[in-house]
Structure 1
Amino acid sequence: MSEKRDYYEVLGVERGASKIVIDRAYRKLAIKYHPDSSKAEDAVERFKEASLAYEVLNDSDKRARYDRYGHAGVDGGASQFNDVEDIFEAFGEMFGGGGGMFGDLFGGRGGGGGGRRRRARRGADIRCNVTLTLEEAAKGVSKDISFRRNVSCNSCEGSGAAPGSQPETCSTCGGRGQVVQSAGILRVQTACPHCGGTGQQISQPCGDCRGSGFQAEKAELTVEIPAGVDDGMRVRVQGEGEASPDGGPPGDCYCFISVTEHQLFKRDATNLVLQLPISYSQAALGAEIEVPTLDGPETLRIEPGTQNGDVFTIRGKGVVDHRGGRPGNLLIQVFIEVPKKVSSEQEELLRQLAELDAESVLPHRKTFLEKVADLF
């Protein structure tokens, strides 16, 4: 393959394909040409070609340069996969067991036949719930959080074996951490059921962690929540998850955001919506009214002849877009509030107004008999 093919052609997708479509296309090709399963003579080259195409098209910046300049736009920034192991290094989580793109289909590159070094697994991620007010979500805030997580045992340094002893090679998988199960022509490689994929067994477990290699601890962190987050979003705190079971990097802590309901404002993306009551005289004659915003009171001009449901906009008084930093607007929808009771002076003036407008209104008092006579 001396001449590079078009990356979209390699993956068999349209130029406007979404990330989901690109992921799916690469998954099919990687399974088809995976060196541990494919018998095609050019499997390795096809696998490397598909992986290089995926690396470019999966990255929004590289994909934009490729769309504009072709191969010349990414030749300097794309990885050079000289060996299949480079691909597993770049896309390790996609080929590893458990949560990768391929799950246990190949059981991770390290455990497959061939005796390659088993990759250290990344620690588990942790979820932490963080509740914010609308003001905190709009402006950003530092939040103190606490949660429990598993860290490496101090006594055995995470090995799970009692001090002075060493883990032994698993007799079932021979230290590979993987076993192959056959069902007819189908061969599936899965984590070893006896050692859990570690490749080791502990004959003398550590007394402090009971052989798990972990100890629970309470973590207390201060997390910077950026301005503009919304309900249901999550903030990643890198490296604050659980320890790796075999010396790999720790997982991450994900703070899931919950925003409490505000008594005045409703949020619509980056805009805030305020329902503002006004009187019929203010609607008819116009007025200048002080309205609340997240930054303090602002003066709003109500134009004469304002109708029920009209919307006024105060620009820049919404919520900051967490991606671009541009603030939204405050949308003020007015509704005309009709009083249930009026004073005698107000009633007299309103009746005069009704006469000027030639409107039919109910009289001040009417006996029951008069009402019946009018009815029939």
Structure 2
Amino acid sequence: MAREDLYKVLGVDKKASPEEVKKAYRKLARQYHPDRNPDNKSAEERFKEVQGAYDVLGDAEKRKQYDRGGLSSLFGGGAPGGAPGGGFAGGAGPQDFGGISDILSNLFGNAPGGPPGGGKGGQRRQRPEKGRDVETSVQVTFQQAMEGVQVSLTVPTAQTCGTCRGAGTKPGTSPIMCPRCQGRGVEAQGQGVFSISTPCSQCGGGGTIIEDPCATCRGSGSIRTVKKYRVNIPPGVREGSKVRINGKGEAGINGGPPGDLFVLTHVESSSIFDRKGDNVEVEVPITFPEAARGAEVEVPTLNGRKKLRVPAGTSSGTVQRLRGEGPAKLGGGGHGDIHYRFVIDVPSDLSKEQSDAVDKLSKATKGDPRSRLFAATTEGAGQSSGKGKGGKSEG
């Protein structure tokens, strides 16, 4: 497969910037997404091709390696949509280095033919690795977030190839030891303890090369597919909460366990309730007579309605709490509270009857409520003046 193929899949030039690649991918992904093309196998296949191409061209390192040697360099003879998290032959990547034998091998710069860094016969063993986690998002209403809801999701992901069972090789064949690094997966530059080890440029650090790739996955060990799930969103989620679905991510590498699926929740705002951590807040308008004399008012809850007693003399901004009636706490920690903030409703335009009533109330109200603001100032000034006189008389 020519190296220009992936660029043709996304419809971009080889010199396209990362932003141009991303823009082209998003446009095509929206166009061919299974949700927009139900029961359209052609669109589904095109969607997989677009995903596979972006897996390579959307990653700076994979794109460089692809441009240097095409698919044979990046996938060991494979195709776009390679093994998750790596994209190297056999599913291994630079992160595969580790263990005391590898460290000693890298440190002392074993020569080809000497003790290998990984296994018997000069070939590095491919350790099982967990598959890559997958993240998707879902939009729910405020009420669904409070009560919990089951949603349907369509998730593009990579799954283990059923033909080669993830090996990447043609059934009945096996990878061969890399002739360049003699199976160690690294190339050493320099001598002794000052040598620098880098991933092998031919096998990508896997220690092996696939000569006869699997016809189904073309050597990658995995295939791009679209999975459909029904996921339970628990009650109490908020904006940005992540719901974890174990084992529904991408397939593991070399027999490792699959990754997990994370569902990011976006919660629509409510016209009544304002989320405040584990609690919600509601602004409740009350009239001046209700605030002055006290009253019983009806307020909304997450599940219906309740009545609250407004004490006589309630001032605007007073908060009354309804314990345990708020959102469910994630993790089984009970429920939060609902905070009701009473706000005195002042009409902007008074009718003649209302204006007369306000005049009567004003005449009946005795005293200046702002006088106490100046009492302390006046008292302080008098004390200051007295001290000054006393100082003079003593002098």
C-alpha contact (below 8 Å) 2:186/2:197 kept by paired residues: yes
1:107 to 2:115 alignment: no
1:309 to 2:299 alignment: no
Counterpart in 2 of 1:159?
Answer: 167
Deviation at 1:227, TM superposition (A): 2.8
The percent of aligned pairs where both chains have the same amino acid is: 37
Deviation at 1:190, TM superposition (A): 5.0
Alignment of 1:31-42 (within 5 A): none
Q: Which amino acid aligns with 1:234?
A: K
Alignment of 1:1-376 (within 5 A): 107-109=97-99, 112=102, 113=105, 114-116=117-119, 117-180=125-188, 185-186=193-194, 191-357=199-365
- Secondary structure at the residue paired with 2:361? helix
Distance (Å, rounded) in 1 between the aligned partners of 2:97 and 2:182: 15
Deviation at 1:241, TM superposition (A): 0.8
Q: Which amino acid aligns with 1:313?
A: R
Distance (Å, rounded) in 1 between the aligned partners of 2:288 and 2:139: 40
C-alpha contact (below 8 Å) 1:111/1:177 kept by paired residues: no
Deviations 1:260-309 (A, max 9, x none): 21111111111111111112122112221111111111111111111011
Deviations 1:170-220 (A, max 9, x none): 223333444555698555655434323333212233333222122111111
Deviation at 1:313, TM superposition (A): 0.8
- Secondary structure at the residue paired with 1:135? helix
Alpha-carbon distance change, 180 to 133 in structure 1, aligned in 2, over 3 angstroms: farther
C-alpha contact (below 8 Å) 2:94/2:205 kept by paired residues: no
Q: Which amino acid aligns with 2:129?
A: R
Deviations 1:218-271 (A, max 9, x none): 111122223333322312111111112322111111112222211111111111
Q: Which amino acid aligns with 1:256?
A: L
Deviation at 1:327, TM superposition (A): 1.0
Deviations 1:32-58 (A, max 9, x none): xxxxxxxxxxxxxxxxxxxxxxxxxxx
Alpha-carbon distance change, 186 to 315 in structure 1, aligned in 2, over 3 angstroms: farther
Distance (Å, rounded) in 2 between the aligned partners of 1:208 and 1:326: 50
Deviation at 1:146, TM superposition (A): 1.5
C-alpha contact (below 8 Å) 1:238/1:251 kept by paired residues: yes
TM-score of the two chains, using structure 2 as the length reference? 0.59
C-alpha contact (below 8 Å) 1:110/1:176 kept by paired residues: no
TM-score of the two chains, using structure 1 as the length reference? 0.62
Distance (Å, rounded) in 1 between the aligned partners of 2:259 and 2:137: 17
Distance (Å, rounded) in 2 between the aligned partners of 1:274 and 1:137: 17
Q: Which amino acid aligns with 2:254?
A: D
Distance (Å, rounded) in 1 between the aligned partners of 2:284 and 2:190: 70
Higher fraction of helix: 2
Alpha-carbon distance change, 161 to 186 in structure 1, aligned in 2, over 3 angstroms: same
Alpha-carbon distance change, 337 to 106 in structure 1, aligned in 2, over 3 angstroms: same
- Secondary structure at the residue paired with 2:166? coil
Alpha-carbon distance change, 214 to 135 in structure 1, aligned in 2, over 3 angstroms: same
> How many pairs were matched up?
260
Deviations 1:145-185 (A, max 9, x none): 22100112233332222345432222233334445556985
C-alpha contact (below 8 Å) 1:111/1:178 kept by paired residues: no
Counterpart in 2 of 1:64?
Answer: none
Deviation at 1:319, TM superposition (A): 1.4
Segments of 5+ residues of structure 2 without an aligned counterpart are: 1-84, 87-92, 106-116, 120-124, 369-395
Segments of 5+ residues of structure 1 without an aligned counterpart are: 1-96, 361-376
Alpha-carbon distance change, 173 to 164 in structure 1, aligned in 2, over 3 angstroms: same
